[in-house]
Every structure is written in C-alpha cells, then in structure tokens.
Amino acid sequence: MGSLFRSEEMTLCQLFLQSEAAYACVSELGELGLVQFRDLNPDVNAFQRKFVNEVRRCDEMERKLRYLEKEIRRDGIPMLEIPGECPEAPQPREMIDLEATFEKLENELREVNQNAEALKRNYLELTELKHILRKTQVFFDEMADPSREEEQVTLLGEEGLMAGGQALKLGFVAGVILRERIPAFERMLWRACRGNVFLRQAEIDTPLEDPSSSDQVYKSVFIIFFQGDQLKTRVKKICEGFRATLYPCPEAPADRREMAMGVMTRIEDLNTVLGQTQDHRHRVLVAAAKNIKNWFVKVRKIKAIYHTLNLFNLDVTQKCLIAECWVPALDMETIQLALRRGTERSGSSVPPILNRMETLEDPPTYNRTNKFTAAFQHLIYAYGVATYREVNPAPYTIITFPFLFAVMFGDLGHGALMAAFGFWMCYKEKPLQAKKIDSEIWTIFFGGRYIILLMGLFSMYTGLIYNDIFSKSLNIFGSSWRNNYNQSTLMSNKLLQLNPDSEDYIQTPYPFGIDPVWQLAEANKIIFMNAYKMKISIIIGVFHMLFGVCMSLWNHIYFKRRISIYVEFLPQILFLLLLFFYMVLLMFIKWTTYGSTPPYYGSDDINIVKTSAYCAPSILITFINMMLFKTDPPRPPCDDVMYAGQMGIQKFFVIFALLCVPVMLFGKPYFVMKEQKERARQGHQPVEGAAENGNAGGAAPPAPHHDEDITEVFIHQAIHTIEYVLGSVSHTASYLRLWALSLAHAQLAEVAWNMLLRKGLMSTDFQGGIFLYVVFAGWAAISVSILVLMEGLSAFLHTLRLHWVEFQSKFYAGEGYLFQPFSFEVILDSAGTTEE
C-alpha cells in the first residue's frame, strides 16, 4: 500500500561504524535526513559522554560567531546569504582551522572594541573639559567686573573680609554632572555646607555619548566656590556621591586659555584616531560578514554530528561505534549508499554494517509528504500523530477539508478573493520562501497556501451552486420563473408570490445551482435556503461519517483484528446506515415524490393532491416518530406513509439498529474472555488471528500477550460504545453547523452590501460616481476584513472540528509518535529561527 495512505514501514537497525569513519558517515546521514538515532546511553549524563569535548568546542565557536554576528548587526552591515549549495559538514581537522579563525577574529574585535571604548572615554573627558573651560570662562568673565579687581573681594564682599579679619583665599572646583541630578545636588550642597558654598551651573547643549552604554546623555557644567579645606573635602565627597566628574581648572585666565588650546588639539588628534579605529573595526566586520552564515552552518553541522555520535555505544574493542536507529524500510538502499560514500570519504577500508533488528517496540510514524500534502498532514498531526501504520486521514482531507469549508463559505466573490491570494502565494512560492518573512501570521498563511488556494476554489464552486456573488445572484442560464400577473395586480400589491404549482414555474429547473429568482424573494428566501442547506448538511455529514467508519474497516483488516470487524465495524456501520442513512434516503424520496404535476395545476384530484407539496411530510418529524414508534394523526387526502410498507420497514430498522448496541457493547469482551480461557487451557500458545494488539503485518514475532484485565476491557468497550452511539446522534446534528455558518455568511454579505455599497448606488446624479468610488473602498475593506478573514477563520475552525471530531473519531486513534530523523536541514532551520 502506498505511503500516502498509511505511514511508512519502519525498521530498527543496528549500525556498526568504524571509529574513523563514524564522523563522515553520520555527516552523510545528516544530509540525507532519513535516520532517527536512539539514545543508547540514556543513563549517562551529558558530561560523561565520549565527544563532550568536541561539543563544547562547537558551543564555544558558536558563541564567538554569535558575538561576531551581534557586532555585525550593530554596525548594520548586510550579511551575505550562502550562495547556492549549503556547505557540507567540514572534516574534523578543519575544526581546528575554524577555531583558530574565530579566535583570531574575536580577539581582534574585542581589542578593537576595548580600544575604541578607551578612546571614547578619553574623548568624553576631553569634551567635558572643553565645555568646562568654555562655561567657566563665562562665570569668571562675569565676575571680572572692572569695578572690583580681585575675585576674593567680588565674591564675599566687604563684610566677608571684615568678618574673617584677614584676607581670604577662595577655592573652587569645576566638574560635570548629569543634568537630572542637578536639583538634588544643589540641595545637598546647600544643606551639607550650611549655605557656605556658591554653585554656578550651565547646561551643555549638545548630548554626550556615554562610552560604556553608548547612550546619548545630557550633562551640565558646574563650578562650586567655597572657602577653606574642610569645605573643600566635603564638597568633593558630595561630588563623588553624585557621580560628578571633577576636572582641574587653572585659576589664572592665561593658563585656562592655554589649557583650552591644548584640549582642542588633543580632541582633533583623538578624532582621527577614533576614525581609524572605526575603519579598522568596519573592515574586520565586513570581512567576517561575508562568511558568517557559512561558518554558522559549518559549526552547527559539526555540533550536530558530535551530538549524534554521543548517542552511540562504544564497542568493547574501542574500534567501532554501535548505533541503533529507526529507518524507513524503503530507504535502506539509499542509506547504505550514503554510508558507503561516508566510508570512502574518510578513507577507511572497512565498510559499515547495517543490521536489521527485531523489536517489540512501536516504531515511529513517518508519512512522506511533499509541499502540497505537508500542510494537510500537519492539520492531522495537530490532533494527534497517527498510530504506527494506521490509516492516514490526510489524503482524504485534501478534498473534504476545502469542500466542507466551502459549504460554509459559499460565495463566488469571497472565494475568488481567497483563491487569488492563495494562487499568488503558490505562484510566487520560491521568491516568497527566500524572503523569509518573520511574522507569525504570515508564516501560518504561507504554510497553508495550498489549503487557502483550494478553499478559495471550492468556495467559488459552492458560491455558484448557492448563486451568491457578494450576496447578488447571476442569471446565467435564464430563470425558470415567469411573472404571470396582470398589470392591475402588479400595481395594487406590494408583495406577490409566484406559485410553483402553476404556469409561473416553467417546470424545468435552473440548470446549475439555485435559481437566481430567489435573490428577489424577500419573503421566503431564507426559509427556502434553510430547508435546502440543512438537508445538504445532513447528507454530506452522514456520508462523511460513513466514510470514516469504512476507514476503520481498513484498520481492522490491516491489524488483523478479525473479531473487531464483526463486533465493532459491522454493528457500527449498520447502526449508522439503518438510522441516519435511512433519513438521508427519506430526503431523496421527499424531493422526488412530492411536487406539482405539470398539466394539472391546482387540481383537486386526490391522486394529484397526494403527490403535491401539500402532502409532503416533514423529514425530521418522520424520523422522530420512527424512533418513538409513533404515528401522526392522518391528514385526510394525504397518505400516512411516503411509500408502501414504510411503517414496517422503519420498525425493523430501529429494532435492528438498537440490537447492534449490545453487540458493540459485549461482543469484544466476550471474545477476549473466550480467548483467554482457551489460552489457559492450551498453556501459553498464542491464538492466531485473535491477537488484539497484534503487531503490524505480522512481521515482528507475536507480542508476549499480556492477559488484559477483563473488567478493563468491559469498561473500555462500554465507553467506546456509548461514545459511538451518542456520537452518531450528536455528530449528525453537529454537521448542521455547515448550514448555520453558510446562512450566517450569506446574511452578513447581504448586510455589508445593503448597508454600504447600496448607499453608493442611490444617487440620481453623476457625482454618484465619485461617491461610489469612496463607498466601494469602504465596502471592500469590510468585505476583506470581516467576510473573508473573520468568517474565513471561523469556517476554517469549524471545518477543522468536523474533521477532528466527527470524522476522525470513527477510526483514528492518533497514539503514535513522530519520526524525527537526524537531518541537517531541520537542525539548521530550527537554529536559525530560535536565534532570530
């Protein structure tokens, strides 16, 4: 059987690799991506493994690369994508080269950065000093008032001089402080020095760069005058506490001027040096940016290989490594080939040995997918990974999923929009894939591009069937309804009906889909559409569920559960057929039996009335009556039944269906019990064909059959039966969501048209065109955001539920675990996304 219908057959293999060849072989297998290695030393912790050193070295290299990458990002240098092919995993000896390169690069970069930082700090200091000199000059200039020659006099005035009784020398400190600290600084100075200091400050207009964090900070220059050493120490302490930087400032104006000159020249020099450092750093980074992606790939590959080698067992002789791996049975040849390539590359003479092993373990589930089926397979996996070799619902989902979606989303216009979007994504697949847009929503849309395209196309089809395009109808083939009212009737009535049982209906239906005349039937359009869509939903639902139950037959046959066919599949399908499929049949009988009889319109003839719409019974009431063994009071001219013998057949069906329930309930436990007794009598020979959990295809030896606890079997079966019986009722009803969502969508589309676009069509002038232009944009926005996106999402979720619950519950266990092969592609992908 093809791999699409169930998961691949897997074999557990033992792999003997020569120590020298192991690296090259594993590298080849990683390129191939078809082998899942098992951890053979799970009780050994990560630090005691054989290749822990190499893994650590790779970690270190990766860290260095990340550092480089960060620096490259900071400078905004574009990193070159790897041209063409991904580089192969390098030879182990190449690792030393790589290490040396990275070491050199890192050191160089660190040194450059350190130098740059020191230079920047220097630069900052000089700039601050420059500002101090400039600003303090202003202070001193103010004080150098021509009327007072000496600073001492100017500051304290006559009284100060008198009070001290001697000439006082005033000291001062100048410095720079963060601007937001100024108020607190000022208050602190005032309080600590009891108002005996004098603070002047001026803001530096241009922001300065903080070398350690490279932030732009605003600072202020201050100068504090004080008297005496005690105050000096106190002031200095406060400055220290506020992280103000103090700079020496000469007292004499001439010295200050000289110093300012010196500072300016030094700043100039520093600028050139800084520029050169920056250039050097840029050169280093540009050179690194060319290769960094390549290096990342190489290092990650090496790391992955050593990580895998760590999972292996060492042979006693230390000459070879032993690995255990799950391998798809069909790919044995390719793997052998890859192993041989690996051996040749490593120059070893001893070929690796790939040995099949027998096992009782459940193999992993591996479904081969391509870009088209992958999205559908993921929808299934999102519910649960299939049990090994179980029927895979994905191939059927490819059609049923878009179809059920379209039943809810049926609108030619909205479907076309969705299909256009999907088509664009499929058409531009390669360029879009290469772009690697990192938005989550986009990734979801792009991953499901084929689903979106199919959903759009199917919606266009159902839109044609419903004859809905943005809530309007297309009259392609010409309506089958005629207006036969005369002029006076038309003039005097607001609402008129067309009777199908008259000449109004030409008695040949509209060739494709719903007749467009219904769009104008304001009074009973919804009633008519509801009856139609509800029936369609139930019909689709019952067929969908029947299909699901049939799938379980395939499972039973494949897993050789013969008893399950008789006591599970048969009663299940009978139950569904006799009750719900019968209801579907009744619908078809109703559709075909009742209606007008062409030439005899409105006739009173009993035979004609009996098949007229008047006598058409309600299917739901009929079904409820059937379940309750009840009959409705007869309506005189009509028959009680839809066909001869209906009552008897219905009773038989219900009783037979109900009899299926105890079979489902007790059949399997009974057989299990019987089999256990038999086994007990015969000793421990396994009974052929009755192995309940028999292994796939009988390839493996029969499992050691644990006698299941019989009460557990009973409980399990009871739950299953109740779930199935109640499920078939509730699931059938659940398919009515197809109708409900489709009704909601149609109504919402109509509201959008009537409330918005119609407003633009209601003017009798030519400026209506401009108005229409504006209104159309609004209507388009509403259509896309609410009708396509939101309604689309809700229809999608309901479809998903219908598949997961209503369809898959009939046959799908989903208890497997996923095949996760050792593959460079996957490793590199996941490493790329986590890091970004």
Residue closer to another protein by CB (options 481, 739) is 481
- Short-list 828, 804, 834, CA closest to 400: 804
Taking a C-beta distance cutoff of 8 angstroms, is the pair 202, 212 a contact? no
Assess 356 for contact with another protein (CB under 8 A): no
Q: Using CB under 8 A, which of the segments 399-407, 466-474, 593-601, 664-672 binds another protein? A: 466-474
Local structure of residue 645 (DSSP, 8 states)? T
Instruction: Decide: 707 and 693 in contact? Cβ < 8 Å.
Output: no
Stretch that binds another protein, among 240-248, 484-492, 588-596, 710-718 (CB under 8 A): 484-492
Q: Taking the complex as a whole, how short is the minimal distance between the CB of residue 755 and another protein, in angstroms?
A: 12
The least CB distance from residue 591 to another protein, in Å, is 26
Closest to another protein by CB, 167 or 491: 491
Give the nearer residue to another protein in terms of CB position, either 212 or 487: 487
Nearer to another protein, 545 or 775 (CB): 775
Q: Which window, 36-44, 230-238, 428-436, 468-476, contacts another protein (CB under 8 A)?
A: 468-476
Smallest gap from residue 763 Cβ to another protein (A) = 6
Distance CA 692, CA 713 (A): 11
Closest CB to another protein among residues 487, 508: 487
- Which residues, 750 to 769, sit near another protein by CB under 8 A? 757-758, 760-766, 768-769
Rounded to 5, what percent of the chain is helix, strand, coil?
65, 10, 30
Burial 45-65, CB ≥16 within 10 A → b, else e: eeeebebeebbebbeebbebb
487 lines the binding site for another protein (CB under 8 A): yes
Task: Determine which residue in the list 11, 136, 473, 799 makes contact with another protein, applying CB under 8 A.
Answer: 473
- Identified binder of another protein from the candidate list 216, 334, 475, 785, rule CB under 8 A: 475
The helix or strand, by DSSP H or E, that contains position 357, with its residue range, turns out to be: strand 353-357
Question: Closest approach of Cβ 601 to another protein, in Å?
Answer: 24
Nearest approach, Cβ of residue 254 and another protein (Å): 53
Return the number of the residue (297 or 782) whose C-beta is nearest another protein.
782
Nearest to 236 by CA among 280, 192, 296: 192
- Shortest Å, Cβ 487 to another protein: 6
Task: Judge whether 597 and 629 are in contact, CB under 8 Å.
Answer: no
Q: Which lies closer to another protein via its Cβ, residue 513 or residue 760?
A: 760
Q: Tokens representing 246?
A: 């103090």
Of 522 and 604, nearer to another protein (C-beta) is 522
The Cα–Cα gap between 670 and 111 comes to: 81
Q: How far is the CB of 764 from another protein (least distance, A)?
A: 5
Location of structure tokens 């000089």: 126
Closest Cα partner for 379 from 807, 727, 733, 742?
807
Q: Is position 482 an interface residue for another protein (rule: CB under 8 A)? A: no
Provide the minimum distance between the beta carbon of 786 and another protein in the complex, in angstroms, as a whole number: 16
Give the DSSP per-residue string, 670-735. Answer: HHHHHHHHHHHHH-SPPPTT--TTPPGGGTSPPP------HHHHHHHHHHHHHHHHHHHHHHHHHT
Question: Segment 778-797, which members bind another protein (CB under 8 A)?
Answer: 780
Considering the complex, what minimum distance in angstroms separates the CB of residue 456 from another protein? 14
Task: Decide if 236 contacts 175 (C-beta within 8 A).
Answer: no
Residue 494 CB, shortest distance to another protein, in Å, is 7
Q: How far is the CB of 596 from another protein (least distance, A)?
A: 24
- Cβ-based nearer residue to another protein, 349 or 475: 475
The number of residues that bind another protein (CB under 8 A) is 29
Number of Cβ within 10 Å of residue 169's Cβ equals: 9
Q: Is the dihedral of CA 148, 150, 156, 160 positive or negative?
A: negative
What is the phi-psi region of residue 596: left when phi exceeds 0, alpha when psi lies from -120 to 50, beta otherwise? beta
Does residue 436 touch another protein according to CB under 8 A? no
Query: Binding mask 406-425 vs another protein (x if CB under 8 A, - otherwise)?
Result: -----------x--------
Closer to another protein by Cβ: residue 158 or 522: 522
HEC profile for 137-154?
HHHHHHHCCCCCCCHHHH
By CB under 8 A, name the one of 190, 218, 477, 773 that touches another protein.
773
Gap between the Cα atoms of 320 and 749, Å rounded: 70
519, 555, 564, 717: which one binds another protein (CB under 8 A): 519
- Minimum distance from residue 769 beta carbon to another protein (Å): 3
Query: What is the C-alpha to C-alpha distance for residues 48 and 160, in angstroms, rounded to an integer?
Result: 81
Interatomic CA distance for residues 601 and 502, integer angstroms:
5
Min separation Cβ 489 and another protein, Å:
12
Choose the stretch contacting another protein; rule: CB under 8 A; options: 46-54, 238-246, 590-598, 773-781: 773-781
Closer of 415 and 760 to another protein (Cβ)? 760
Q: Taking CB under 8 A as the rule, does residue 490 contact another protein?
A: yes
**Only segment of 151-159, 238-246, 467-475, 604-612 that touches another protein (CB under 8 A):** 467-475
Q: Is 430 or 494 the residue whose CB approaches another protein more closely? A: 494
Torsion angle, alpha carbons of 641, 643, 646, 649, to 10:
-170
Binding mask 491-510 for another protein (x = CB under 8 A): x--x----------------
Residues 541-600 that bind another protein (CB under 8 A): none
Q: How far is the CB of 516 from another protein (least distance, A)?
A: 6
Sheet holding 219-227, edge to edge: 198-203, 219-227, 170-178, 245-247
Query: In 10 A of CB 310, how many CB atoms?
Result: 20
Rounded to whole angstroms, the Cα distance separating 290 from 282 reads 12
Smallest gap from residue 450 Cβ to another protein (A): 21
Residue closer to another protein by CB (options 617, 760) is 760
**Shortest distance in whole angstroms from residue 761 CB to another protein:** 4
* Interface stretch with another protein, choices 369-377, 634-642, 770-778, 792-800 (CB under 8 A): 770-778
User: Could you tell me how many helices (H) and strands (E) the chain has, helices first?
Assistant: 28, 11
Contact 718, 665 (CB under 8 A): yes
Q: Choose which of 49, 134, 378, 472 interacts with another protein (CB under 8 A).
A: 472
Check binding of 351 to another protein (CB under 8 A).
no
Restricted to residues 176-195, the positions that interact with another protein (CB under 8 A) are none
Q: How far apart are CA 544 and CA 539, in angstroms?
A: 9
Greatest Cα pair distance, the chain, in angstroms, is 140
Is 474 a binding residue for another protein by CB under 8 A? The answer is: yes
Token pair 């019952």 in the structure block, residue: 542
Task: Tell me the residue ranges of DSSP E strands in 61-146.
Answer: none
Residues 6 or more apart whose CB falls under 8 angstroms from that of 817 comprise 362, 364, 365, 385
Question: What is the Cβ-side half-sphere exposure of residue 748, based on CA atoms within 13 angstroms?
Answer: 22
Output the smallest distance, CB 95 to another protein, in A: 38
Q: Which two tokens stand for residue 467?
A: 């004859």
772 makes contact with another protein (CB under 8 A) = yes
Could you tell me which stretch among 5-13, 80-88, 774-782, 815-823 binds another protein (CB under 8 A)?
774-782
CB closer to another protein, 402 vs 516: 516
As measured in angstroms, the least distance from the Cβ of 495 to another protein is 11
Name the token pair of 535: 């029936």
Q: What residue ranges bind another protein (CB under 8 A)?
A: 417, 472-475, 487, 490-491, 494, 516, 519-520, 757-758, 760-766, 768-770, 772-773, 776-777, 780
